[in-house]
Chain A
Amino acid sequence: MSKTHVTTTINGEPAEFLAEAGLSLLDALRDEVGLTGTKEGCGSGDCGACSVIVDDRLVCACLVLAVEAEGATIQTIEGVATGDTLHPLQRKFIEHAALQCGFCTPGFLVAAKSLLEKNNNPTETEVRFWLAGNLCRCTGYDKIVRAVMDAAAEMRGA
């Protein structure tokens, strides 16, 4: 089967890869582009571990075909920090111990970043509903929600 040449922008940089028709964006990011921060949990859109932002829209990379990403602007966990400077969400996740095994963390961070870009002052309920598609089996979610609320407050300058 012939592969399609896909041209995208990933974390602000031009990125190209070859994709077979059935390849998921998740597998393309991990195996073709080498960005392994985006994790595969369920592979069926239930767990949110592969959350990425495609053209300003939060999606599961496992539910997007790589060939659909032609011309798209993609943000992954690798683009959340600025060089060695952590994003406030990343610092707050560490401060609040909002992770244990860490497998779900990239997805939570990307999803939370997407929320705060749309709503810089979410209520706890809004945070919980927004993140309902991100599953964590370690933390019980409270620390994650607190970290997101705290990061939002800091980013607002509160």
Chain B
Amino acid sequence: MSGLSYTAPSTISEAVSLLANASGLAKVLSGGTDLLVQMKSGRLKPALIVDTKKIPGMIGIREIDGAFVIGAATSGALMGEHAGLVAAWPGVVEATNLIGSTQVQGRASLAGNLCNASPGADSPPAMIAAGAIAVIAGPAGTREVPVEAIVTAPGRTSLAKGEFITEFRLPKKPARSGDAYLRFIPRTEMDIAVVGCAIAVTLDANGVCIAAKVALGAVAPTQLVVAGAAAALIGNKLTDAVLAKLDAECQAVCKPITDKRGTIEYRTKVAGVLARRVAAIAFQRAGA
């Protein structure tokens, strides 16, 4: 690791400038639970590490009129301890808290989980379903994009040189809304998703779905927003026929690979099954 520099700026503009002007590979450090492993294995050889955790606001959760602002480097452990966030967006928190062990939870962040750009990441589907916005700082100023616009391919993001995510914004949850996330793994803990599925729904006073967003993980090079699955839910209660349509719409968009965790056929099938289960939890949380 000779030639590696570490810096921990105290302002966003300083961090942007350091990242933008770096001559070699510059990496943002939040929790480091992916970055340090990749450096140790030799897969990544950065020249500069910019630790963002000393910048005010990068760690912590703020509730503003029912909406939430989560600092990009906030750990999963902090999210799990925030009663207001757990009550409002349980799906987002349960997805984030599935990442790794207790030790990993003490460090791993939303921004890191997203920008590592693994197809199997747990928190991105839940953030996407919840309608989360990523706030990005960069040389040209600040921009806000939906979380699904960040990952473009395995290991690749839409962030330009000098840009990094400073915070995530979760909207105020509408009345009669619920979100949920489930992942399937062959064990009970400490594994990577075979499939992950997140669903957020809003119901009317009669329990009919009036808004829905469905996201899948680990079944394509990036997380998938399944518009057809959301359409299957909207205007309906969770009947057997609606669940069957949801299942079919999710299976139809899967473009997974076969690897040691599952075959293409298996992942596709499980995506439909998980969607059914997640929808049931989301509807129940919405008060159905």
Contacts and interface: CB of A to CB of B under 8 A. Distances in A.
Are these two chains actual partners, yes or no?
yes
Nearest to A56: B106
Contact of A59 (B2, B3, B106): B106
Given A21-B49, A63-B33, A65-B36, A45 B6 contact: no
A126 to B, nearest CB: 11
A73 interface: no
Contact of A65 (B32, B75, B77, B106): B32
Contact of B103 (A1, A4, A24, A111): A111
Interface residues of B, number: 30
Nearest to A50: B103
Most A C-beta atoms less than 10 A away, residue of B6, B39, B101, B104: B101
B45 to A, nearest CB: 10
Most A C-beta atoms less than 10 A away, residue of B4, B53, B75: B4
B107 A63 contact: yes
Contact of A133 (B4, B29, B100): B100
Contacts of B107: 57, 59-60, 63-64
A67 interface: yes
A4 B49 CA distance: 14
Contact of B37 (A58, A63, A133): A63
A49 B106 CA distance: 16
A4 B4 CA distance: 12
A100 interface: no
A114 B107 CA distance: 15
A133 B103 contact: yes
Contacts of A4: 6
A144 to B, nearest CB: 15
A30 B37 CA distance: 19
B51 interface: yes
